[in-house]
A = this chain, B = another copy of it.
């Protein structure tokens, strides 16, 4: 069978079972999830054996260490995978929720009911745990899904998929509720992102190259996650201790995450007071500082900052530092150079805090808190499928709600329109 026919078959099956999933009750969906978690725990050895095959191939083909690290599973990570599925079972079921039923002058009562989107395509790279995470979230939200993992993880994903199929069938749900694309042919992605007749939305989880390809080629709407070029702005009235702690946590807790700060802005009036202790902290942690001219007059830096640096998500122990006139210039800088992901102000000034909250055009805007909080768990969503830098449908961390939509419902007693 050629790739297009194979993908059409997956699409048609997903579409066919989507109505069954949409009306599946909470108990059945949770039974399937708990069953899948139990199967993952029980078959840890088989998953590890499959993962070993992927790792062997990856080492032979010379994959870089970071990718191998992301590909590798362990007994511990398999237990965490099962716990992740169990945590989704424990979340409230969003499907069928009815809200805001209001009577209208015509006598009808109008409100909205939360329902699944339908069929969700997820495209991701090496980490095999995404297979279980994404399947669980889609299932709980009543969607059929088609999962396309990285070719380097195909054996691991197959092993996990087999357990998901079994868990679904045992609970009495269609096994095709979750389908893992079982080919490493890249043409499969090309078909998945254009089969609008079957797929309602694509959620990409991967690097810049993947997202750029999807933006250029996808005919299916995307819940996209672009890069996170996050800022911390230290305002004139910032508390010194809060500023130091927030910069430290935002920049140095982890270097490779999308909610890590890449840029520090400091109000001119406070730069001489606050930049030196922050620079000491960053240097002690081995962070390279690239500073503007005014910054360089106050602290030692590795090199002068460039326009390109301001627009860069380093994902590394590097930070760009700029002295700005105040909150206006900070907001303008963030909106111009940032990636609309997550930005924080440190301030004790009420008006500046409010202006920053309102005017910074990012998915998450924070006052006196670390950018590292931009996360589905930290926000109380229970789990996340990704962090959207889109504006439509879902913005910021996307949990179960982002995998649903709302239809209007009308309760009448024979009303007609005049």
Question: Is the CB–CB distance between A106 and B373 below 8 Å?
Answer: yes
Q: Tell me whether A405 is interfacial, beta carbon within 8 Å.
A: yes
**Which residues from chain B contact A242 at a C-beta distance below 8 Å?**
413-414
* Least Cβ–Cβ distance between A99 and chain B, in angstroms: 12
Q: Report the separation of the CA atoms of residues A28 and B117 in the bound assembly, to the nearest whole angstrom.
A: 38
Query: Once the chains are docked, how many angstroms separate the CA of A377 from the CA of B200?
Result: 28
Bound: A375/B110 CA distance, A? 11
CA distance A248 to B416 in the complex (A): 9
Chain B nearest CB from A307 CB (Å) reads 18
CB contact between A411 and one of B201, B367, B397 (< 8 Å): that residue: B367
Q: Which residues of B contact A19 (CB under 8 A)?
A: 335, 359, 361
Which residue of chain B has the shortest Cβ distance to A19 in the bound complex?
Answer: B335
CB distance from A234 to the nearest CB of B (A): 13
List chain B residues, Cβ under 8 A from A246: 414, 416
B-contacting 9-mer, from A180-188, A298-306, A388-396:
A388-396
**Contact at B416–A378, with CB atoms within 8 Å?**
no
Chain B residue nearest to A391 (CB atoms) is B405
B369 and A108 contacting across the interface, CB-CB below 8 Å: yes
Q: Would A117 and B380 count as touching, CB distance under 8 A?
A: no
Task: Map CB proximity to B onto A48-89 as digits: 1 under 8 Å, 0 otherwise.
Answer: 000000000000000000000000000000000000000000
The answer to whether the Cβ of A239 comes within 8 Å of any Cβ in the partner chain is: yes
Could you tell me if A368 and B412 are in contact, using CB atoms closer than 8 angstroms? yes
Please name the residue on chain B nearest to A250 by beta carbon: B416
Q: A277 contacts the other chain (Cβ, under 8 Å)?
A: no
A: contact size bracket: 35 or more
A363 at the interface (CB under 8 A from B): yes
A325 located at the interface, meaning its Cβ lies under 8 Å from any Cβ of chain B in the complex: no
Quick check: A415 and B373 within 8 Å, CB to CB?
yes
Q: Does A191 contact B (CB under 8 A)?
A: no
A106 touches B378 (CB 8 A): yes
Question: Are B221 and A416 closer than 8 Å at their CB atoms?
Answer: no
User: Which among B365, B370, B414 is the interface contact of A408 at CB below 8 angstroms?
Assistant: B365
Q: Judge if A364 is at the interface, Cβ distance under 8 Å.
A: yes
Q: Considering the chains assembled together, what is the distance between the CA atoms of A391 and B403 in angstroms?
A: 10
Does A374 count as interface, using CB distance less than 8 angstroms? yes
A108 to B377, CA, bound (A): 13
Q: Contact check, A110 vs B245: say whether CB atoms are below 8 A apart.
A: no
A372 and B416 in contact (CB under 8 A), knowing A102-B380, A359-B19?
yes
**CB of A118 within 8 A of chain B?**
yes
Chain A positions within 8 Å of B, measured between CB atoms, are 19, 22-23, 96, 102, 104, 106, 108, 110, 113, 115, 117-118, 196, 200-201, 215, 221, 239, 241-242, 245-246, 248-250, 253, 335, 344, 357-359, 361-370, 372-375, 378-380, 391-393, 395-397, 405-417
